[in-house]
Each structure stands twice: as C-alpha cells, then as structure tokens.
Amino acid sequence: MKISCRRESLTSALAAACKIVPARPSAPILSGCLIYTDDKGLVIQSTDLEVSLTLWIPAHVEEEGCVVVPVRYLYDLLRRIPDEELSLSWNEENRLLEVTYGSSLSRLHTWMAEDFPPLQARAMGQELNLPAARWKSCAGKTLFVVSQQEAAFNYSGVYFRFLDEEIHVAATDAYRLALFKMANESSVKGTSILIPGRALGESAKLAEEGENLVITWDDQAVSFSGASFLLTTRLIDSGFPDYEMVIPS
C-alpha cells in the first residue's frame, strides 16, 4: 500500500477513531485501526466490539492495500508534524508502516488486516433523515444528564419516542430529566428506541454542518451515516422511565 494525503484530514479521522478504540482492549489488535484503499481514497475503521466506525478521507492512491496500525501512536505522531502532504507506505514483508513527511521518515509496527475483527453491519429497517444541526441539538439538549455509571444501564442512553406529530427526545440520570421535542416530519410513528449516549455524542461530533444525517435501525442496532462516516452501535435493550409522570401538568 502507498498513499498520500493531507496531514489535517488524516489527523482528524484518527482523532475520531481513537475515541472508539477501547482504553483497555481485550486483544492487542483492538488498539489499532484498519486502514485500506478504495475508489474514494483512504478508509479508516475502528471498533471496540460494541461500536463500529468507518471514515473516508480523500487521498491519492499509488498502490492499493490494507493494514492495521496502532491508532494512538500514529495520531500522536501526526499531531507533531507540519500541516502538509504526507505519504503512508506499507511493506508486507517487514510489516512496517512508513510515514514520510518533508525530509523525515517514521516507522510503526502493524498487524495483518485479516486478523482485525469484522465490524457490525449497517443497521437496516426504520429510517430517519435529519439535518446535522437538528441532530446536534438533540445531543446538546440531552447528553448532559445521561448517567455515566455503568450499572445504570437504562439511564446511559437517550430515548427517542416517535409520536404522530412530534419526536420526544429524553434523557435522565434518575435525578434530572432533559426533554427535547421536535416536529416529526418522518414516516416513523408509534415506536421508540434507546440510543447509547456515547454513540449519539460521537455521531453529533462527526456530522458536518449543512449535511443531512441518515439514522437507520432495527431491533438490535442503530447506524448513523454522514457524507464521510458510518457509525453503528447496539441499541440499549432496556426500558426507559415514564418521563411524563415526573413532568408537572
């Protein structure tokens, strides 16, 4: 594999990938991200086996290929170099990724792509299209009360309830309640889902102003698709408190 791209584009993508990679991976390869080439340029994938993220960045591809790189080491390296064109090349024989920028060269050890765990498939079923600004509002007005305690499973997500005329977006930590209402202009009615707060927050950060975000889900997972990313996570399979009971009439 041999590609060239802008440092800024690759660094931004790696920063997002780092947020998905587990702090204490169950296997060393999970501390890496899979990078490979396609007809759009460079593809970057990371997972913690609960959340899967795919990112696309523009790149000039001289030689196709795929490899798993230590994402935090590569990210830390790129943060310290000038914002200019750089090249990545990987030699399958010595399994080293060479990063060339200006007159400098750095090498990183890698893993074989076939050892990387498969990512979750994109969830298909119900579909909601929202402007990125609206999705960011959903996140900003609810995530601040999402519980950070792992034991409080049903409080660790944001609840979306689809009524005929409105969509109710609610979150609670058992002490505070946040409720955001918006018009339901979709065909999705009479259903609800509980999205992990972490996935909602990351998808809102990745969504670019001015674009439309496509949210699709089935009984087990939800996917968020933008112009340059796809994020998939498991839904929370737990009940959400009856928030209307605590709202003064």
Percent of the chain whose predicted confidence (pLDDT) is above 70: 96
For 29-61, how does the pLDDT look when each residue is reduced to its tens digit (9 = 90+)? 999 999 999 988 999 999 999 999 999 999 999
Q: Is residue 41 domain-resident? A: yes
Residue 248 predicted with pLDDT over 80: no
**In this structure, is residue 120 part of a structural domain?**
no
Let me know if residue 121 belongs to a domain.
Answer: no
For 170, phi and psi rounded to 5 degrees?
Answer: -130, 150
Kind of pairing, strands 32-38 and 41-47?
antiparallel
Mark whether 136 and 241 lie in a shared domain.
yes
Residue 108 and residue 130 in one domain: no
Structural domain boundaries enclosing 226: 126-246
Report the CATH number at residue 55: 3.10.150.10
Domain boundary among 87, 115, 143: 115
Residues 17 and 101 reside in one and the same domain = yes
What is this structure's pTM? 0.92
Measure the CA–CA gap between 204 and 207, rounded to whole angstroms: 5
Indicate whether 96 and 182 sit together in one domain: no
| Type of residue found at 10 | L
Domain match, 98 and 135 both: no
Please tell me the total count of domains within the chain: 2
What is the average per-residue pLDDT within 214-237?
96
Same domain, 109 and 130: no
DSSP per residue over the chain, as a string? -EEEEEHHHHHHHHHHHHHHS-SS-SSGGGGEEEEEEETTEEEEEEE-SSEEEEEEE--EEEE--EEEEEHHHHHHHHHTS-SSEEEEEEETTTTEEEEEETTEEEEEE-B-GGGSPPPPPPP-SEEEEEEHHHHHHHHHTTGGGS---TT-GGGSEEEEEE-SSEEEEEEE-SS-EEEEEEE--SS--SEEEEEEHHHHHHHHHHSPTTPEEEEEE-SSEEEEE-SSEEEEEEPP-S----GGGGS--
Q: Residue 139: inside a domain, yes or no?
A: yes
Q: pLDDT category, 151, cuts 50, 70, 90?
A: low
Whether 98 maps to a domain, the answer reads: yes
